Structure 1
Amino acid sequence: MSIRLPSLSPDPDAPFPPGQSALRHPDGLLAMGGDLAPQRLLNAYRAGIFPWYSDDQPILWWCPDPRTVFRSDGVRLSSRFRRWLRRCDWVVRADTAFDEVIAACATTPRAGQHGTWITGAMIEAYRELHRLGYAHSIEVFDAGRLVGGLYGVSIGRMFFGESMFSARSGGSKVALSALAHRVREWGWPLLDAQVENDHLLSLGAESWPRSRFLEAVSRLTAEPDAAGSWSGRFGALRAAELAPARS
């Protein structure tokens, strides 16, 4: 059976179809076409929509149901990992190595996955969002060497995670924990993780009905929080600070 999808207008400011109209199979597929212009991407995230496609496909736009999210106070680390963290001398920063992080997310091998959805066009689009102060990288360093990280998009008081990687065991966990730690301090309640997998669930991710997620996104992206670099705002966070004194 063929799938008929709405095609987006060439105008990057043209509205998206409502997220609630996305297909059930495949879950969340909403529209196709358009481009990755900054304004279109920002409009997509404000509507709870994200691009996800391969090089041999047109641009595909998604709004799955349910939606995978982290509460900023809900990232869970095992007792063993927290004990290790308390002895860890890694340091976490933001927006000091965006290009390196997105390249690592695109090229790091993943179990059961061949190739990458982070195409050259996607990399350039998110680099432009980074230059505009909307896309951010969280970077984990060991003696100056990048050992893990993640990147995503922030609008208002909402962070939309896109991808993360580990060059050393635990690198992505530290990046996620540090992000949650900082945005919780800033009063941001929620992180979007898009689609669930066992790894995210083991770290405390929750599955929300799409309607609940879209309501939260509409509210949080409308709240004031200026775009711009996070390098000074985030500062340097020692990984050991992410482990409570008692566990």
Structure 2
Amino acid sequence: MNLSPASACPDTPEKADTAQLIRILLAQDLGTRKFPFSEVIHSATGKQVLPLSKENSAHAVLLEKVNAAARATVVKLNAQDSPVRKLRRINEASRYFEDGILEYLNAEDDITCEIPKNAKGNEQRSGYPDLLITHTAADGTVTRAYLDPKLFEEKSRSSSLRTFYYEPREHTNKIQYDALHLLIGISHDGNNQAWTFTGWEICDLSHFHVRLKAEFQASNKDLYRPNIIKSTGKKP
């Protein structure tokens, strides 16, 4: 009896599910759709992204303190002996801005700043967001804000290349509170290893939109496996 390829090798339920999922993902055209960041956060964490209002006195105070901390950090990291000038890549300087802003905010009486804890209760540096700021007003009102420092070269301010991403994961979720979500973009002149930081902009992410980049990916560990490698060679 002759069998067609389809009947000779029927799909397992797992393969059928994979094929269906791939077709669904492709049909969504995810690369062109935009999603409200506030809805992404709420769907992934159950927490609200609160809008920043300068009419809210607690928000105004928090914004003023963040600006002051940014100003002090920029001055420090623009100094001739700045540790940033020893770095090979400007992206490595983000950590210094995180630490500087954290230090200056913690010097304030009514504000604390910390590395956010993940769902397991552990401080976690990697991933969005980088800092958690808590302001306690005289009447006991508590205002929280997540702050994410980013660096950008002045001339690339309008670039369309990806510079921000958020990857929701249950066990490493760092968003544990309803809070403001702020991004502080620090600009620099692009003078390699002699960078001068020229200013900053604080963005309210409550009305921010993001795109989902769906990609099939693998690591070197996945690629260079005995069952995949068919030929090797060494430099003579």
Give the shorter-chain TM-score range: under 0.3
Scaled by the length of structure 2, the TM-score of the pair is 0.26
Larger radius of gyration: 2
Scaled by the length of structure 1, the TM-score of the pair is 0.25
